């Protein structure tokens, strides 16, 4: 059964949450939580989900961008977004250790701010150091849409929501985004 997605205004969404120890990561509780988060992400649907969004104040997020989420986009839009499928994976205690110099702007949404979108500038490339679900160190070098997803989810773990970074004049309901800017994709939401 999917977990409840918290909406903006919940205090945990504005907190820098705590890191997990190796023992916690390997515990049945956290392994079960990862499975429930994956089910919740697929049910939403979205491309990323951070633990604070389900009320857990821990440095844990999951990412998965399925090919089917962009199949209705024109090929040129997929290309400009540099969007490719990203298999399911877990990031724990992540840190962005390098940002690329180039910034790109695209509309984003959030499962914790349902029904709205805004234009957000983010680095086109990032390098992230984290632990995986087995508490093993991992370095992720990402570009394009994947880099955007990582930045969005890591922001959640630091108490930041995309509305803190957006061009406020572009904030719109999903319906008005569709009307004036085109159809959003599931990857527009975390």
Task: Supply the residues annotated as catalytic.
Answer: 153
Among candidates 31, 66, 65, 55, which has minimal Cα distance to 150? 65
Q: How far is CA 66 from CA 51, 88, 122, 185, in A?
A: 20, 9, 21, 11
Tokens 């499975």 sit on residue = 35
Query: How many Å apart are CA 35 and CA 58, to the nearest integer?
Result: 16
Query: How many Å apart are CA 122 and CA 100, to the nearest integer?
Result: 9
For 11, the 3-state DSSP assignment is helix
Asked if residue 126 lies in contact with residue 147, where contact means CB atoms within 8 angstroms, the answer is yes
Q: How many CA atoms lie within 13 A of 112 on its CB side?
A: 28
Asked if residue 166 lies in contact with residue 120, where contact means CB atoms within 8 angstroms, the answer is yes
DSSP H helices in the chain: 22-26, 28-43, 75-81, 144-157, 174-181
């Amino acid at each position: 059964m999917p977990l409840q997605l918290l909406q903006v205004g919940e205090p945990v969404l504005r907190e820098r949450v705590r890191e997990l120890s190796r023992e916690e990561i390997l515990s049945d509780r956290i392994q079960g939580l990862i499975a429930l988060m994956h089910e919740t992400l697929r049910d939403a649907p979205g491309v990323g989900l951070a633990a604070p969004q389900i009320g857990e104040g821990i440095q844990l997020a999951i990412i998965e961008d399925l090919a089917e989420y962009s199949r209705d986009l024109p090929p040129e839009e997929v290309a400009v977004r540099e969007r490719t499928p990203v298999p399911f994976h877990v990031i724990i205690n992540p840190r962005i250790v390098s940002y690329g110099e180039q910034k790109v702007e695209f509309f984003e949404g959030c499962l914790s701010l349902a029904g709205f979108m805004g234009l957000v500038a983010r680095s086109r490339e990032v390098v992230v150091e984290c632990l995986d679900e087995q508490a093993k160190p991992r370095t992720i070098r990402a570009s394009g849409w994947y880099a955007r997803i990582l930045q969005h989810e890591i922001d959640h773990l630091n108490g930041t929501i995309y509305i803190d970074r957006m061009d406020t004049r572009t904030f719109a309901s999903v319906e008005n985004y569709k009307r004036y800017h085109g159809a959003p994709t599931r990857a527009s939401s975390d």
